[in-house]
């Protein structure tokens, strides 16, 4: 079933890497290092690189699923799994995008509360976020694309501050050795942990029909940008902290920013926390837009009405979730759903498509 998308709603292919990169880079990059360090120590950078390769394969499979056709993902699911099963799976994926947005918003608010304003009521930044999301999504997918573009370009200089102002004697490159000093099982477990920081590529399944022209190489560029960023961050973290220090540093990236000193800024990590809202906000917008797009196809309800309902659910959820264990529980379970979609559903759809193609 061909998608009827107006010409003024589609985007150019060269903008795809900014959307893919924005979809993948969220609040997790502020502290993903400790979790994988506990499993593979100094080999964390290898895990980051291997996971990046896995996601290049996932992108290849996604484009194989569509096979160049501008078909809505919901319709592909219906054609593949039938009416009942596809409806269940589509609702699960739609719910996944909503929950992923809630996780990101609540985690970011917890960072703000931890590092800047301990007494800040959760509902205040939560309500402001919902208003901003509504404003952006009211402009349609092109507006979301613009936010993703600026969400990549504007904070780019922020990452340079992780390395440039630090003195050379702070770096201990011997922390990177010995290489490949862990078992295959430990690498697999670490890959599972880092996958949460790579999640978001699933949104490509929804916005693919909105891309004009051939875009696969651009999507791969987006994944490459994400992988290079994570490699950069994890290598700098590894040479600055030994394994024991890193295991006890849950927000390693923010801790590094505490070392950064400028004559005009005493607490640079505050700048990092504030600027990170520009990184996190675009992928929340993209996820919620993906949920409303799927909802429109499933329930034949206007995206604007769905948007109001989803934002209301997200706001209530953000306010209800208070304690760190609750946030961690939600992160873990949303990550498991994301793993299932990424490593099971997408390869399954790709293999079914190949079989149908061979069988004529």
Over residues 258-279, the pLDDT tens digits come to 777 666 666 777 787 888 888 8
How high does pLDDT run on average in the chain?
87
> What's the whole-model pTM score?
0.91
What φ, ψ does residue 155 adopt, rounded to 5°? -80, 5
Over residues 27-38, the pLDDT tens digits come to 778 778 888 888
Single out the residue of 99, 75, 108 nearest to residue 297, CA to CA: 75
**Higher pLDDT residue, 360 or 13?**
13
Q: How confident is the model at residue 137 (pLDDT cuts 50, 70, 90)?
A: very high
Helix, strand, coil percentages for the chain (3-state, nearest 5): 80, 0, 20
Q: CA 315 to CA 109: how far, in whole Å?
A: 12
Decide if pLDDT at 291 tops 60.
yes
Single out the residue of 297, 215, 196, 291 nearest to residue 20, CA to CA: 215
Question: Picking from 145-149, 192-196, 347-351, which range would have the lowest pLDDT averaged per residue?
Answer: 192-196
State the pLDDT at residue 29.
80
Decide if pLDDT at 134 tops 90.
yes
Decide if pLDDT at 1 tops 60.
no
The reply to whether CATH 1.20.1740.10 applies to domain 7-349 is yes
Q: How confident is the model at residue 73 (pLDDT cuts 50, 70, 90)?
A: very high
């Amino acid at each position: 079933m061909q998608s009827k998308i107006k010409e003024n709603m589609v985007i150019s292919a060269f903008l795809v890497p900014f959307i893919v990169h924005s979809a993948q880079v969220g609040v997790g990059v502020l502290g993903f290092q400790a979790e994988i360090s506990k499993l593979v120590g100094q080999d964390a950078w290898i895990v980051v690189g291997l996971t990046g390769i896995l996601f290049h394969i996932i992108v290849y499979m996604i484009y194989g699923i569509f096979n160049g056709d501008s078909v809505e993902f919901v319709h592909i699911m219906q054609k593949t799994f039938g009416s009942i099963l596809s409806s269940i799976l589509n609702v699960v994926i739609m719910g996944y995008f909503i929950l992923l947005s809630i996780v990101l918003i609540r985690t970011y608010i917890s960072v703000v509360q931890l590092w800047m304003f301990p007494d800040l009521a959760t509902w205040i930044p939560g309500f402001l976020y919902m208003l901003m999301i509504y404003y952006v999504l009211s402009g349609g997918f092109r507006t979301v694309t613009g936010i993703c573009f600026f969400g990549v370009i504007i904070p780019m200089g922020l990452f340079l501050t992780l390395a440039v102002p630090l003195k050379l004697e702070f770096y201990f490159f011997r922390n990177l050795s010995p290489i490949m000093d862990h078992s295959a099982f430990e690498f697999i477990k670490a890959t599972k942990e880092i996958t949460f920081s790579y999640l978001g590529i699933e949104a490509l399944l929804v916005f693919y029909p909105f891309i004009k022209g051939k875009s696969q190489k651009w999507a791969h560029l987006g994944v490459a940008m994400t992988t290079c960023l994570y490699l950069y961050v994890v290598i700098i973290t590894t040479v600055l902290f030994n394994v024991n220090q890193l295991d006890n540093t849950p927000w390693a990236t923010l801790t590094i920013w505490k070392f950064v000193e400028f004559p005009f800024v005493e607490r640079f990590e505050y700048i990092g926390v504030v600027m990170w809202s520009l990184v996190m906000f675009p992928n929340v917008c993209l996820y919620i837009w993906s949920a409303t797009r799927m909802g429109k196809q499933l329930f034949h309800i206007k995206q604007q009405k769905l948007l109001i309902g989803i934002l209301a659910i997200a706001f209530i959820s953000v306010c209800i979730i208070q304690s760190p264990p609750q946030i961690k529980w939600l992160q873990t379970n949303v990550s498991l759903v994301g793993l299932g979609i990424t490593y099971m559903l997408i390869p399954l759809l790709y293999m079914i498509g190949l079989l149908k193609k061979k069988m004529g």
